Amino acid sequence: MSRRKFGDVHKLIHDLLDRHETNPEASRILAYIDEDALQTVEERDRFIQALFGVEKAGGIVVQRKQAEGAFALGNVRLADPTVLYAHVNRTPAKVSASIALSKARVRPDLPEGALDVLDEIANAWSRGVGRFGLAPGDSSGLSASLDLVHALAIRADDGGAAPVDYRTFSRLAGTPSKALERLVSTVPRLFERLYPDRAPPAELDSADWLATLGVTRTPQPLIVSGPITIAGQPLPPLRFYGVPPEQGDQLGLSERVDYLLTIENYTSFVRHAREINNDRSALIIYTGGFPSRSHLRQIVRLAVEAQAPIFHWGDIDDGGVRIFGHLERTLAERGLSLFPHLMDVAALHEHGVVRDRQMRTADAPPLESAVRGLWEALATSALVLEQESLSPQYPSRRT
């Protein structure tokens, strides 16, 4: 490990304290003098005088050594952190963490077990380390995160909550409008620790996780293609229709359909609606990427009504497999099977391109999943394929 060298006494002291806070049990924390930074005799004399002053106060021990017949300075060892805190007018991280967390500990809306999570944050902050994406001492970030988590918990209990955008949700939670955007990775992690029984079941990235609860950057309309009715009234024969997602319960089918197909990406949805479903013989639903809870509810409801084979077409990558798996699990709860469409190993090997990031093993679907074989091919081939690369086709259970 490279030596830490300094030509400024204050920076040297702060570095010693940083490492002390990270590992309070360490008995030998050393820093070294950067002789190259002390370019003049005056600079070196001032540096040494300041260094010896801190040593005299008991905060450090400066090693003296003999080099070529003359005495020289060696390493600088931390002796008494209390002296150094006072010398640079710095509050110990442990004290700062306690102060920052004091208001959070007395919140009336904390669920059972929350104090253990706050203790975990305090322990990290006292060592100068962030936790749950919150930097040490970020009490305002913690307060906003707890407000947002509490609002999400209420939303999780309300299965019919209308979709909402990040900024509106932040304001409704009593936080600044950009709070969720700033804390988008923190909030799901805290939620899963504070409300594990209400968290989405799959391991998702932050945006997809929030989407399952209907919180998205811009809520997507529910877009469908097929023989649709609204409140029992048949609609004119358009290629596709878009309705507010909170009013999706009014959608129905005017006649039987050959199949139901959910599609991840918009371009592929539009192409399938125009090129394959122009006779409106099938029900096609655009998921908008990872489907929100309100979209998912309508997918399940319409699948039950359709009583037809159900397919999903998405990207052939880990994200596409996650979306398929989420739909597959949800439909299975109603005794319905989901089949992949144009998501197969042959298409991957024929058209795939080399992926630019690693797959997470936690995303692997169960052995019984219809896309387990595809997942294994993704893992071994290091290829991926965006669904827009393929032209739409009539689905078959053989795919």
The 10 Å Cβ neighbour count of residue 87 is 18
Say if residue 73 is in the same domain as residue 130: no
Residues 201 and 312 in one domain: no
Same domain? 385 vs 295: yes
Domain boundary among 162, 197, 216: 216
Expressed as residue numbers, the domain containing 46 is 5-87
- Residue 369's contacts (CB-CB under 8 Å, 6 or more residues apart) are 324, 325, 328, 375
User: How many structural domains is the chain composed of?
Assistant: 3
State what percent of residues in the chain have pLDDT above 90.
63
Instruction: Tell whether 212 and 303 lie within a shared domain.
Output: no
Would residue 394 count as lying in a domain?
no
With 80 as the cut, is the pLDDT of residue 86 above it?
yes
3-class secondary-structure state, position 33: strand
Is 310 part of a structural domain of the chain? yes
Which is higher by pLDDT, 159 or 124?
A: 124
Sheet strands side by side (includes 260-263): 241-243, 222-225, 283-286, 260-263, 310-313, 338-340
Instruction: State the CATH number of the domain containing residue 253.
Output: 3.40.1360.10
The last residue of a domain, from among 165, 191, 216: 216
Mean pLDDT for all residues in the chain = 90
pLDDT value at 18 more than 80: yes
Q: Give mean pLDDT, residues 179-195.
A: 94
Residue 398 pLDDT > 70 = no
pLDDT at 238: 95
pLDDT class of 399 with cuts at 50, 70, 90 = very low
Distance CA(372)–CA(393), nearest Å, equals: 22
Query: How does pLDDT run across 226-263, given as a tens digit for each residue?
Result: 999 999 999 999 999 999 988 899 999 999 999 999 99
Q: What pLDDT, on a 0 to 100 scale, did the predictor assign at position 157?
A: 86
| Of the candidate ranges 44-58, 198-212, 300-314, the one whose mean pLDDT is the lowest | 198-212
Q: Tell me which of 196, 216, 236 is where a domain ends.
A: 216
What's the average model confidence in pLDDT over 79-90? 91
Element (H, E) at 171: helix 166-172
- What is the pLDDT confidence band of residue 397, given thresholds at 50, 70 and 90? low
Same domain, 235 and 359: yes
CATH number, domain at 47? 1.10.10
Assign residue 374 a region (left: φ > 0; alpha: ψ between -120 and 50; beta: otherwise): alpha
- Whether residues 315 and 228 share a domain: the answer is yes
- Residue 358: its pLDDT value, please? 81
d(CA 50, CA 42): 12
pLDDT at residue 371 in the model: 96
Consecutive H or E run containing 157? helix 139-157
Q: Residue 399: inside a domain, yes or no?
A: no
pLDDT tens-digit profile of 95-149? 888 888 998 999 999 999 999 999 999 989 988 889 999 998 888 999 999 999 9
Residue 72 in this model has a pLDDT that exceeds 80: no
